[in-house]
Structure 1
Amino acid sequence: MNHTLSFLLSLPSENRLRFGKIKKNILLLLSTCTIFAAII
């Protein structure tokens, strides 16, 4: 019982980390696109 509870509690933090990584990647892509647009 405690194991399942801790597992469920640990899931949101992992999802938050994943979302943060995805957000960073999107920001990086956007910044590179804007730089290329400025060059062109």
Structure 2
Amino acid sequence: MKALMLGVLTGILIATIAASLVFALTDRNAQPAKALTEEAGHG
């Protein structure tokens, strides 16, 4: 039972870190693209 709980907690921790990493990377990549599309839209 303890091992199961440890596995669940570890899985949640890894999922949280992975999600935050993906979110940070996509956010960083989306900002320049958003700026470019806005500039193109104004042009």
Normalising by structure 2, we get a TM-score of: 0.68
Runs in 1 of length 4+ with deviation above 3 angstroms?
none
* Other-structure match for 1:37: 33
Residue of structure 1 aligned with 2:4, choices 5, 8, 31: 8
Identity of aligned residues (%): 11
Normalising by structure 1, we get a TM-score of: 0.72
When the two chains are superposed, the root-mean-square deviation of aligned CA atoms in Å is 1.2
| Equivalent pairs, count | 36
Structure showing greater Rg: 2
- Structure 2 unmatched runs, 5+: 37-43
